[in-house]
Amino acid sequence: MPRISRRDLLAAGVAAGAAAALPRQLARAAPPGVPISVSSGNGLRAVAKACERVAAGDRPVHAAVEGVSINEADPEDTTVGYGGLPNEEGVMELDACVMDGTRGLGGSVGGIRNIMHPSQVALRVMERTDHAMLVGHGAYRFARAHGFPHQDLLTEKARERWLSWKEGLSDRDDWLPPENKEGGTITCLTRAVDGRMGGSTTTSGLAFKLPGRIGDSPVIGAGLYVDDTAGAAGATGRGEACILTCASFLAVEEMRRGAAPTDAALAACKRIADRTREKRLRDDDGRPAFNVQIYCLRKDGTHGAAAIWSGGKYAVQDADGARKIEIAHLFERT
Ligand code: ASP
């Protein structure tokens, strides 16, 4: 059943019938002099690190990469970098991008293998090439040229989960039991006290994806967009939906037009729901049968996040310290 619909949500075009949660904490302007970082729910350590680095004088984009690098190297995070879940052939292929919202520059790598820190390689693409995107073996060779070590990224835990997925694929082969499709990502948006902004999104992509599949995380405008004259946005969840709606770009443009961060994120989720026309992607009530989360940090330091489905939290560090905040949503999960 729908919950209370805020006036602002109606203004953002949320249709009648779509439930919209009141964000637990309404965005408010940060006092000057405080670095701010916003991340997905798995990014509590990332936001703390990013704020620490930006306070020490790093550029916001560098600070964001420092933040997400923690998750990339964490074997317990099965959604990012080392320890992530592999493609359908049991091979890890990672995606990441970075964006410097002050200089208007971005860099990304897609489907890179055997490199633990795709976000750091994306940063090198931005800073040390005349390109914005490198994929596959070319990205790997570029990383090696920059001294990134070749590493086996498939942990035993991830291999076992891949095997269990493979065994459950069909009852018409000789592999035996199952697991759900899953994925995950970390996005980190960071603002320095002087208003400069930067961000990074990094992922191992959807678990058990087709080899060569690239999600939204390395696509500037889909998994991340930063323009410090308006704000920054990042996305997690079904990447195909974010690519097809330019979701992060859309959220930033909403903020440029004056929307509060939570409303900008809701508007992007709403667009995704509206554009989900295929029956196979919708539930019995016509709602998206998948989830997407959009995280927003506006140029004035206010922040918010929204998802298609209820239940998530985002991580933030601002004047009130590091904590997790409930994400607004379009539809209530029952
Ligand atoms: N957005 C990622 C992708 O589609 C996955 C995720 O966030 O779960 O590759």
pLDDT reported for residue 281: 95
Ligand 1 center–CA 59 separation, angstroms? 26
Our mutation pick for probing the ligand 1 site, out of 119, 181, 217, 295, counting the most ligand atoms within 8 A of Cβ, is 217
Question: Which residues are CB-neighbours of 104 under 8 A, at least 6 positions away?
Answer: 227
Q: Which residues of the chain fall short of a pLDDT of 70? A: 1-32, 78-79, 170-184
Q: Is the CB of 40 under 6 A from ligand 1?
A: no
Q: Is the CB of 206 under 6 A from ligand 1?
A: yes
pLDDT reported for residue 177: 52
Question: Which residues are CB-neighbours of 147 under 8 A, at least 6 positions away?
Answer: none
Query: pTM for the complete prediction?
Result: 0.88
113 neighbors 91 (Cβ within 8 angstroms): yes
- Angle of helix 247-256 relative to helix 261-275, nearest 10 degrees, comes to 140
Distance CA 177, CA 78 (A): 20
pLDDT reported for residue 176: 54
pLDDT reported for residue 28: 52
Distance CA 125, CA 58 (A): 18
* Secondary structure of residue 282 in the 3-state scheme: strand
Distance CA 23, CA 201 (A): 23
Q: Is the CB of 237 under 6 A from ligand 1?
A: yes
Our mutation pick for probing the ligand 1 site, out of 42, 85, 97, 185, counting the most ligand atoms within 8 A of Cβ, is 185
331 neighbors 1 (Cβ within 8 angstroms): no
105 neighbors 99 (Cβ within 8 angstroms): yes
Beta strands 133-135 and 105-112, pairing class: parallel
pLDDT reported for residue 75: 80
Q: Which atom of ligand 1 is nearest to the CA of 215?
A: 9
pLDDT reported for residue 196: 97
Q: Is the CB of 86 under 6 A from ligand 1?
A: no
pLDDT reported for residue 22: 43
pLDDT reported for residue 64: 98
pLDDT reported for residue 77: 72
* Secondary structure of residue 222 in the 3-state scheme: coil
Q: Which of 78, 155, 185, 262 is catalytic?
A: 185
185 flagged as catalytic = yes
The residue whose C-alpha atom lies closest to atom 4 belonging to ligand 1 is: 239
Structural domains of the chain sorted by starting position, each given as residue range(s) with its CATH number in brackets: 6-11+36-324 (3.60.20.30)
pLDDT reported for residue 16: 35
pLDDT reported for residue 15: 39
Distance CA 66, CA 70 (A): 7
Q: Sign of dihedral through CA atoms 306, 235, 277, 281?
A: negative
Ligand 1 center–CA 174 separation, angstroms? 30
Q: Which residue do the tokens 């998802």 mark? A: 307
Q: Which two tokens stand for residue 246?
A: 């330019």
pLDDT reported for residue 175: 59
